[in-house]
Structure 1
Amino acid sequence: MAENGEERLINAVLQIAKALGRTDTMTEDIIKQFSDFDGRLSLDKLAVRRDPGGGGGGGGGGGGEDSVPFERTLRALDRQISHFMGLNRLIWSDSDDADKFLEAVDDLLDTIRDLDAHPAANKQLLASADELLQRCVLRLEDEFRSLIERPDAAAPPPPRGPRAYDSEESEGEEEEEEADEGEGQIPIARPVTDYDIVIDALPPGSVSDLHEIAARMVAAGFGRDCSEAYVLARRGFVEESMARLGLRPRTAEEVQAAPWAALEDEISRWIRAFQMVFRILIPSERRLCDRVFDGLAPFGDLAFAGACRAPALQLLSFADGVAAASRAPDRLFRVVDMYEVVRDLLPGLDPLFADHYSAALRAEVATVCKALGSSIRGIFMELENLIRRDPARAAVPGGGLHPITPFVSDSLFTGGFNTATHARAMDKPADASRGAGAGPAAPVDPDRPTSSLAVHIAWIMDVLERNLEAKSKIYPDPSLSCVFLLNNGRYIIQKVKDSELEVLLGDEWMRRMMARVRRWGGEYQRATWGKVVAVLHLGSAGATAATAKSMKERLRIFNNYFEEICREQSGWVAADEQVRAELRVSVLEMVLPPYRSFVGRLKGMPDAGRDKYVKYTPDDVEARINRLFEGTVKK
Structure 2
Amino acid sequence: MEKSDSLSDEMVDKRIEALPYILDLQKIQSSDQQIQAMDDNGGENANVVESSSWLDRQEPSFDDVDEIDRLISSLSSIADKSNPLEIPGTRVETFAQMVQSRIDEYESGSFRFGQNSDQDSVLMDAVSRISKLTKLLGEFSSGSAKSLSSRTSVVLQRAMMFMEEELQIFLEGSISSSNANAPEPNNQKLTSKQLSSSKWNRQESKQNASTDPETKITAEEELFPAISDEAISRMKKIASLMISAGYGIECCQVYSILRRKAFKEAMKQQGFEKISIDEVQKMQWEALEGHMATWIKVVKYSAKVLLPGETKLCCSIFCDFPSIGEEMSTNLATAVILLFLNFAEAIAMTKRSAERLFKVLDIYETLSELISAFDDSLYSKECADELRSDISAVRRRLGEAAVCIFCDLENSIRSDVAGNPVPTGSVHPLTRYTMNYLRYACDFKDALDQVFSQHHQRSEQSKEYLLATGEKRNDPDEDDISPFAEKITSVMELLDANLEVKSKLYKDPSLRYIFMMNNSRYILQKIKESTEIHELLGDSSLRKRSSELRGYHKNYQRETWSKALQCLSYEGLQVNGKVHKPTLKERFKNFNQLFDDIHKTQSTWVVNDEQLQSELRVSISAVMIPAYRSFLARFGHYLTAGRQEEKYIKYQPEDIEAAIEELFDGNLAPVARRKN
TM-based fold match above 0.5? yes
Question: Shift in Å at residue 72 of structure 1?
Answer: 5.2
Q: How does 1:390-405 map to 2 (within 5 A)?
A: 390-405=416-431
Q: Secondary structure at the match of 1:300?
A: helix
CA distance in 2, matches of 1:39, 1:438: 93
Question: Shift in Å at residue 564 of structure 1?
Answer: 5.3
Deviations 1:427-482 (A, max 9, x none): 999xxxxx99936999xxxxxxxx97676556434432321112112234432221
CA distance in 2, matches of 1:77, 1:393: 98
Residue matched to 2:559 = 527
Residue pair 1:569, 1:629 contacting (<8 A) in 2 also: yes
Deviations 1:498-537 (A, max 9, x none): xx64555458466665554443223322332245446656
Q: Secondary structure at the match of 1:284?
A: helix
Residue pair 2:573, 2:580 contacting (<8 A) in 1 also: no
Q: Which amino acid aligns with 2:93?
A: R
Residue matched to 2:228 = 203
CA distance in 2, matches of 1:471, 1:394: 9
Q: Which amino acid aligns with 1:438?
A: Y
Residue matched to 1:483 = 514
What is the TM-score with the length of structure 2 in the denominator? 0.67
Residue matched to 2:301 = 276
Residue pair 1:251, 1:318 contacting (<8 A) in 2 also: yes
Residue pair 2:354, 2:406 contacting (<8 A) in 1 also: yes
Residue pair 1:584, 1:628 contacting (<8 A) in 2 also: yes
Q: Which amino acid aligns with 2:53?
A: I
Question: Shift in Å at residue 618 of structure 1?
Answer: 2.5
CA distance in 1, matches of 2:90, 2:238: 26
CA distance in 2, matches of 1:304, 1:423: 35
Q: Which amino acid aligns with 1:201?
A: A
Residue matched to 2:406 = 380
Residue matched to 1:57 = none
Q: Does 1:142 align with 2:159?
A: no
CA distance in 1, matches of 2:598, 2:464: 33
CA distance in 2, matches of 1:496, 1:39: 87
Residue matched to 1:101 = 123
Q: Which amino acid aligns with 2:412?
A: L
Question: Shift in Å at residue 350 of structure 1?
Answer: 2.7
Deviations 1:566-622 (A, max 9, x none): 465455444466654443333222322233233334458899999686554423433
Q: In 2 relative to 1, CA 454–73 (structure 1 residues): closer, same or farther, beyond 3 Å?
A: farther
Q: Which amino acid aligns with 1:465?
A: D
Q: Which amino acid aligns with 1:583?
A: L
CA distance in 2, matches of 1:459, 1:362: 34
Q: How does 1:325-364 map to 2 (within 5 A)?
A: 325-351=350-376, 352-354=378-380, 356=382, 360-364=386-390
Q: Which amino acid aligns with 2:98?
A: Q
CA distance in 2, matches of 1:222, 1:75: 22
CA distance in 1, matches of 2:607, 2:548: 17
CA distance in 2, matches of 1:192, 1:39: 58
Q: Which amino acid aligns with 1:304?
A: S
Bigger relative contact order, structure 1 or 2 (CA pairs below 8 A, ≥6 apart): 2
Q: Secondary structure at the match of 1:150?
A: helix
Alignment coverage as a number of residue pairs:
552
CA distance in 2, matches of 1:547, 1:195: 91
* Counterpart among 318, 323, 327 of residue 298 in structure 1: 323
CA distance in 1, matches of 2:603, 2:212: 59
CA distance in 2, matches of 1:48, 1:535: 123
CA distance in 2, matches of 1:604, 1:543: 15
CA distance in 2, matches of 1:76, 1:189: 62
Question: Shift in Å at residue 111 of structure 1?
Answer: 3.2
Deviations 1:143-195 (A, max 9, x none): 22222223699xxxxxxxxxxxxxxxx9xxxxxxxxxxxxxxxxx99976153
Residue matched to 1:473 = 504
Q: How does 1:542-621 map to 2 (within 5 A)?
A: 545-546=576-577, 548=579, 552=584, 562=595, 565-566=598-599, 569=602, 572-575=605-608, 580-603=613-636, 614=649, 616-621=651-656
Q: In 2 relative to 1, CA 439–478 (structure 1 residues): closer, same or farther, beyond 3 Å?
A: farther
Q: Which amino acid aligns with 2:401?
A: S
Residue pair 1:568, 1:634 contacting (<8 A) in 2 also: no
Q: Which amino acid aligns with 1:521?
A: H
CA distance in 2, matches of 1:304, 1:191: 23
Residue matched to 2:53 = 16
CA distance in 1, matches of 2:427, 2:352: 25
Residue pair 1:34, 1:41 contacting (<8 A) in 2 also: no
Residue pair 2:600, 2:668 contacting (<8 A) in 1 also: no
- Identity, % of aligned pairs? 29
Moved more, 506-515 or 311-320: 506-515
Q: In 2 relative to 1, CA 604–320 (structure 1 residues): closer, same or farther, beyond 3 Å?
A: same
Q: Secondary structure at the match of 1:250?
A: coil
Q: In 2 relative to 1, CA 626–304 (structure 1 residues): closer, same or farther, beyond 3 Å?
A: same
Residue matched to 1:240 = 265
Q: Does 1:625 align with 2:660?
A: yes
Across the aligned residues of Structure 1 and Structure 2, the Cα RMSD in angstroms comes to 4.9
Q: Which amino acid aligns with 1:260?
A: W
Residue pair 2:426, 2:518 contacting (<8 A) in 1 also: yes
Q: In 2 relative to 1, CA 195–555 (structure 1 residues): closer, same or farther, beyond 3 Å?
A: same
Q: In 2 relative to 1, CA 558–633 (structure 1 residues): closer, same or farther, beyond 3 Å?
A: closer
Deviations 1:57-94 (A, max 9, x none): xxxxxx99734328556534532332244331554444
Q: Which amino acid aligns with 2:347?
A: V
CA distance in 2, matches of 1:524, 1:462: 23
Q: Secondary structure at the match of 1:298?
A: helix
Deviations 1:228-251 (A, max 9, x none): 221122122212211211233322
Question: Shift in Å at residue 300 of structure 1?
Answer: 0.9
Gaps of 5+ in 1: 1-10, 55-62, 154-169, 171-187, 430-434, 443-450
